[in-house]
Amino acid sequence: MKVGIFGRGRLASAVAGLMAPLDDMELAWMLGRDEVPPSVVDVALDASVGAAVPGHLAWARESRTGIVVGATGWDSRALASESDWPIPVLVAPNFSLAVAYLRRVALTLGRFADLDPQTDLVVLERHHRAKLDAPSGTARLLAGALAEGCPRYQPVGDPSRQLQARPLQIASLRAGTEIGYHEMRLEGAHETIVISHEAKSRELFAEGAIRALRWIKGRRGVFSFDDLASELLAPLFRIE
Q: How many domains does the chain have?
A: 2
Does 80 lie in the same domain as 25? yes
Does 117 lie in the same domain as 84? no
Does 222 lie in the same domain as 195? no
Does 177 lie in the same domain as 102? yes
Q: Are 68 and 28 in contact (CB under 8 A)?
A: no
Per-residue pLDDT for 159 more than 90? no
Does 107 lie in the same domain as 182? yes
Q: Which domain holds residue 109?
A: 97-199
Dihedral pair phi/psi, residue 31, rounded to 5°: -110, 145
Residue 166's pLDDT band, with cuts at 50, 70 and 90, is: confident
From the list 131, 182, 197, 200, the catalytic residue is 131
Does 124 lie in the same domain as 173? yes
Per-residue pLDDT for 34 more than 90? no
Model pLDDT, residue 231: 84
Positive or negative torsion for Cα 231, 237, 238, 240: positive
Q: Is 127 an annotated catalytic residue? A: yes
CATH of the domain at 111: 3.30.360.10
Does 91 lie in the same domain as 173? no
Does 122 lie in the same domain as 44? no
Per-residue pLDDT for 155 more than 80? no
Per-residue pLDDT for 7 more than 70? yes
From the list 56, 127, 182, 197, the catalytic residue is 127
Does 215 lie in the same domain as 144? no
Model pLDDT, residue 1: 93
Model pLDDT, residue 133: 84
Does 164 lie in the same domain as 118? yes
Q: Is 197 an annotated catalytic residue? A: no
Q: What share of the chain is helix, strand, coil (3-state, %, to 5)?
A: 35, 25, 40
CATH of the domain at 28: 3.40.50.720
Radius of gyration of the chain (CA): 18
Does 194 lie in the same domain as 101? yes
Does 230 lie in the same domain as 187? no
Model pLDDT, residue 208: 93
Taking residues 26-46, report their average pLDDT: 94
pTM above 0.85, yes or no: no
Model pLDDT, residue 57: 93
The Cα-based distances of 64 to 47, 76, 232 in angstroms read: 19, 19, 28
Taking residues 225-229, report their average pLDDT: 90
